[in-house]
Structures are given as structure tokens and as C-alpha cells.
Amino acid sequence: MYVLINDHIISEEKAYIHIKDRGFLLSDGVFETLKVQNGHIEFFNAHYERLKYSATTLFIPFHYNADALKAMCLELIKENELNHSIASMRITLTRGIGLRGINFPEKPTPTLLITAAPYHQPVSDQYSRAFITSIIRNQYSPITKLKTLNYFEPILARNEAHSNGFDEGIMLNTNGFITECSTANIFFVKDNIVITPSAENGILPGIIRNHIIVLCHKNNIKLIEKSVSVNDAMNADEVFQTNSLIGIQPISQINEKKFSVDNFIFFKKISDFYKNNII
């Protein structure tokens, strides 16, 4: 496979990251994961804007315009012969090489890394079972709403879920409200109302989450963003998760509570709207 490092496409075998790169040493960087289908990068503009926002918020120089970055991505897809398949693409931007310690480099030169690999979409009847973990999200942290390289909380949440025999880990915030799954936003349906944790609860505002919210409003499906308690989650009629790779996927179980996915009316409606409105 080929990768792109700082505007140059090279083979994985020849690629390297400098041992003083702050992304490697300090998780000082940001990233985006994108889905590519038959040469089309889904929701590229939204991913670009979030990457740019995350970088500039963290004072990481961002010199790429959308057209130039997209052209690089498309060239990498072509080089890896992924034009006619489904692929996962990741764009990573670090602050670059720095001296020892945590102080910002005086003149940072960011490192850009883009990778792409084949992606196998979950089958339609593959449902996720979720476990409410002990991992707590700090809703007051300035980096909670940014997609940074520091991914320890999701890693630990996923591991705790797997250790308990589940597929996906749910994290609560410091007030005990639901935030999100380890790599996905979460939605609930109760009494014909779609509910998702609000940004103030310490979530990463996902690209597909935002798209689902827009689709619900356009199609007269009532949706509210609010604080969601564990009791709210357990008493939901439907539960599903979203991210850029899986799209939208039902959750069939939270802890010991099982949900009848076959009766998920709103999930099916929203899923159809989503499939017909991929940008």
C-alpha cells in the first residue's frame, strides 16, 4: 500500500515519522476518518472543515485548502487501486518535530499523513451490543469536542466493553449523563421522538450525527438534543449509533437490556433517508 506524507506519495515500507514528531511523542495532532466508495470521498467538505477547525483551535498551522487536500486524497486512492471499492481513509496532521518538553516549537512545521485501506462494511443484520463503561468524559475539557490524537478514553471504553463480552463501550460524563460510544455518536428514540446527547454533555460532534439531525428536521421527524440519563437510555424504544464508516447502525443491547431491532421503525426511516442523501 501507498501513503502520503507531506505531499509525497510513497510506499508504506519507505514511510517514516521522525522520532521527535510531537504527534508520536505527545499525541499533539488531529485527524479525520473518512469513507470512500467507488472513488467518492463521502462528506469530504464537512471533514475538511472539522479538521481545519480542530487544527486552528489547537494552534497547529493549517496550510491546505479543500481542493488541494481532496486532490491529494483522490490521488492516493488511485495509487492504491481503491477507485472501485469501499475504503477507509485517514488524514492525520501533527504539530511536527519539536524539542524535548511540551512547549510549542517556535516555528512549527506540521506533518501531514494520509492513509487509505480497504474497508469491509458491516452486514445489514450485524447489530452492536453496548456496555456502559466506567470511563468518564470531561464535558468541560476544551479538547473533548475536537478529534485529537489523544484517544485513550475511547480505547479504554472499547476494551472494557470487550472485556465484558460486548461490542461497544458507552461513556458517561462527570454528571452521569450519556455522552457517546467509543467511536460513534448515539441516538435514542422514545415516544416517537429522536433524542441524542447535546454537545454540552461532552461529545465529539460527529459528521454523520450532524447529517442525521438535518435529515430529521427536513423530514419532519422530531429530534431534540438534551442530557440523556442512564435510565433514559434503558427505557428507550430504539437505539442506534453513527459514524463516518458504519454510517448508521442499530444497537440491540445495552448492558442486560435487549432491544427488538426488528421493531425499530424510526431507525429504518432515518436509515433510508441517510442512504439516499450521502453527500
**Are residues 136 and 255 located together in one domain of the fold?**
yes
Looking at 65, 100, 118, which one is the last position of a domain? Answer: 118
Q: How many residues does the chain have?
A: 279
Q: Please tell me whether residue 50 adopts helix, strand or coil conformation.
A: helix
The tens digit of pLDDT for each residue in 80-92 reads: 999 999 999 999 9
**pLDDT higher than 80, residue 241:** yes
Per-residue pLDDT band for 125 (boundaries 50, 70, 90) equals: confident
The tens digit of pLDDT for each residue in 146-199 reads: 999 999 999 999 999 999 999 999 999 999 999 999 999 999 999 999 999 999
**Are residues 248 and 171 located together in one domain of the fold?**
yes
Measured distance CA(110)–CA(94) in Å, rounded: 5
Residue 184 identity: A
Looking at the structure of the chain, the number of domains it has is 2
**pLDDT higher than 80, residue 47:** yes
Note whether 93 and 62 are within 8 A (CB): yes
**Are residues 151 and 270 located together in one domain of the fold?**
yes
**Are residues 202 and 86 located together in one domain of the fold?**
no
Mean pLDDT (the chain, rounded)? 96
Specify burial of residue 28 (Cβ count, 10 A radius: 0-12, 13-18, 19+): buried
* CATH number (domain holding residue 236): 3.20.10.10
Domain, as residue range, for 79: 2-118
Question: Residue 219: what pLDDT?
Answer: 96
**pLDDT higher than 90, residue 122:** no
> Mean per-residue pLDDT for 40-45?
97
Which of 98, 107, 102, 115 lies closest to 18 in space, CA to CA? 98
Measured distance CA(151)–CA(17) in Å, rounded: 19
**Are residues 144 and 266 located together in one domain of the fold?**
yes
Residues pairing with 15 in the sheet: none
Note whether 222 and 170 are within 8 A (CB): no
**Are residues 53 and 133 located together in one domain of the fold?**
no
Q: Which residues contact 260 (CB under 8 A, 6 or more apart)?
A: none
Per-residue pLDDT band for 256 (boundaries 50, 70, 90) equals: very high
In a domain, 123, yes or no: no
**pLDDT higher than 80, residue 124:** no
Looking at 77, 92, 118, which one is the last position of a domain? Answer: 118
Looking at 118, 136, 153, which one is the last position of a domain? Answer: 118
Q: How many other CB atoms are found less than 10 A from the CB of residue 162? A: 14
